[in-house]
């Protein structure tokens, strides 16, 4: 499934949304028999067939990641995203962990990420108000192929001359703390007041992975592995054979340069073997559903770089539940329930000993 990019112009530059399942801003399938259906409608209908059983069990009908391309020609506002817990409690949404992949950067381009020293909430408030907040932030001079991990709670911004692909949790909660182009000061004041209790005020060491487009094939060039998503940079020099069953989930391809063909073996109406072909161009995102277990990715351009994204491994164990604890208290009368609900080892057979969060955001 490939989706129609949606371009949005801002005072700082252009944003192209390649994939988003946000309810009010859903990407629409570009072609095939699912054309004109939104990702939300597709998830509503096909559920675990798209994302895999484990992913669906955790996220429900929410496709868990979004993809956008940024062209920063001005000054990106200083902003911050909440973590999963805060986002769930306040906004019934996912948090804002994101990964920036630098497609190109001018020589003097800058990215601001986190504080260069410990700082107080009072100082952050004052500096956001008077416009000096960047003076206490780390400065990164990005290069082509660099990957920058931005955790929730970390203030970040960027200057002109940067093109980047951004893979993030499927959430759109950017709290703008300083924006020189915002004329309504009350908007920024509201954002700042809302964000004060989830900002990370400690000294931050930015996480920069220098991939340099160096990966040859899908097994090399790992960028990131975390519970929200995994990402691999693929410098596609030759065809690769891939299997979603090895991942147990969807595979999302983001094309940052060049062009590729995703080819799926199948049969026609007469039972003859054929190969379905789906083209993926620069600036586009394509989901290979978990149900499609066997496919090939073939370069259609000598300089093709893809980011391969899969679901992270979530730890669903509930910290409040001790699996070694007996399900029934000694000496209490449960009216025979303990006999019906116990196996030969004396543990409850019909009761979960691990908790699983039901994040059904739609």
Please give the Cα distance from 228 to 53 (Å, whole number). Answer: 16
**Which residue from 229, 224, 203 is spatially nearest to 84, judged by alpha carbons?**
229
- 326 pLDDT band, cuts 50/70/90, is low
Common-topology check for domains 6-210 and 222-311: yes
Percent of the chain at pLDDT > 90 equals 70
pTM of the model: 0.83
How many degrees, rounded to 5, is the angle at CA 63 between CA 62 and CA 67? 135
Top-confidence range, 70-79, 260-269, 325-334: 70-79
- Which has the minimum average pLDDT: 44-53, 101-110, 321-330? 321-330
What's the CATH number for 222-311?
Answer: 2.60.120.10
Q: Looking at the DSSP assignment, which residues form a beta bridge with residue 166?
A: 68, 100
Q: Looking at the DSSP assignment, which residues form a beta bridge with residue 6?
A: 17
- Which has the minimum average pLDDT: 16-20, 32-36, 199-203, 251-255? 32-36
Is domain 6-210 classified as CATH 2.40.30.10? no
Segments making up each domain of the chain, as ranges: 6-210, 222-311, 323-362
Neighbours of 175 (CB within 10 A): 22
CB 253 within 8 A of CB 283: no
Please give the Cα distance from 70 to 62 (Å, whole number). Answer: 23
- 344 pLDDT band, cuts 50/70/90, is very low
The mean per-residue pLDDT over the stretch 45-53 comes to 94
């Amino acid at each position: 499934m490939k989706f129609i990019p949606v371009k949005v112009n801002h005072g700082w530059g252009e944003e192209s949304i390649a994939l988003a399942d946000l309810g009010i801003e859903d990407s629409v399938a570009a072609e095939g028999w699912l054309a004109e259906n939104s990702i939300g409608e597709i998830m509503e209908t096909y559920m675990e067939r798209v994302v895999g059983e484990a992913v669906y069990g955790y996220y429900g009908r929410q496709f868990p990641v979004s993809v956008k391309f940024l062209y920063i020609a001005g000054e990106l506002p200083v902003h911050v995203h909440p973590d999963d817990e805060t986002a769930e409690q306040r906004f019934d949404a996912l948090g804002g962990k994101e990964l920036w992949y630098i497609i190109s950067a001018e020589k003097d381009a800058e990215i601001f990420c986190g504080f260069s020293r410990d700082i107080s909430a009072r100082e952050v408030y004052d500096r956001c108000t008077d416009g000096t907040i960047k003076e206490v932030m780390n400065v990164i001079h990005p290069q082509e192929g660099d990957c920058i991990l931005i955790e929730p709670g970390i203030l970040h911004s960027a200057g002109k001359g940067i093109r980047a692909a951004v893979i993030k949790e499927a959430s759109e909660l950017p709290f703008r703390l300083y924006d020189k182009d915002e004329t309504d000061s009350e908007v920024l004041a509201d954002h700042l007041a809302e964000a004060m209790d989830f900002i990370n005020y400690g000294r931050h060491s930015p996480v920069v992975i220098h991939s340099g487009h160096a990966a040859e094939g899908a097994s090399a060039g790992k960028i990131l592995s975390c519970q929200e998503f995994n990402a691999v940079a693929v410098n596609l020099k030759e065809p690769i054979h891939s299997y979603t069953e090895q991942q147990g989930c969807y595979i999302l391809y983001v094309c940052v340069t060049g062009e590729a063909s995703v080819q799926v073996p199948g049969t026609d109406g007469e039972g003859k073997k054929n190969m379905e072909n789906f083209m993926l161009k620069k600036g586009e995102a394509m989901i290979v559903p978990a149900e499609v277990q066997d496919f090939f990715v073939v370069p259609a351009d000598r300089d093709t770089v893809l980011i391969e994204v899969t679901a992270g491994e979530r730890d669903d164990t509930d910290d409040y539940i001790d699996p070694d604890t007996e399900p029934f208290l000694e000496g209490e009368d449960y009216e025979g329930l303990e006999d019906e609900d116990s196996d030969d080892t004396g543990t409850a057979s019909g009761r979960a000993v691990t908790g699983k969060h039901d994040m059904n955001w739609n």
